Amino acid sequence: SIEATIHPDDRAHNNVKVQEALESGQPVDFQFRIVRPDGAIRHIEQHIIAEHDARGA
């Protein structure tokens, strides 16, 4: 899964920022690291805009 690639030190912060976007409905920008299968670390910048349908899903 994508979550499994997130650097262990960044997972909690990543989860908080995703939840923030879902709850607030406001754009959220943040950075985190992923660990590739070869052990290389890459820095990722994420921009989230959560949209809900008419059912709230």
Give domain status of residue 57, yes or no: no
Number of domains in the chain: 1
pLDDT-based confidence at 7, cuts 50/70/90? very high
Domain housing 41: 2-48
Position 24 in a domain: yes
Q: Residues 48, 21: contact at Cβ < 8 Å? A: yes
Paired with 29 in beta bridges are: 47
Residue 54 in any domain: the answer is no
- pLDDT for 33 equals 98
What does the pLDDT read at residue 35? 98
Based on C-alpha coordinates, what's the Rg of the chain? 13
* pLDDT tens, residue by residue, 11-49: 999 999 999 998 888 999 999 999 999 999 999 999 999
The per-residue b/e assignment along 32-42, b for 16 or more CB within 10 angstroms, e otherwise, is beeeeeeeeee
Q: What is the CATH number of the domain that holds 6?
A: 3.30.450.20
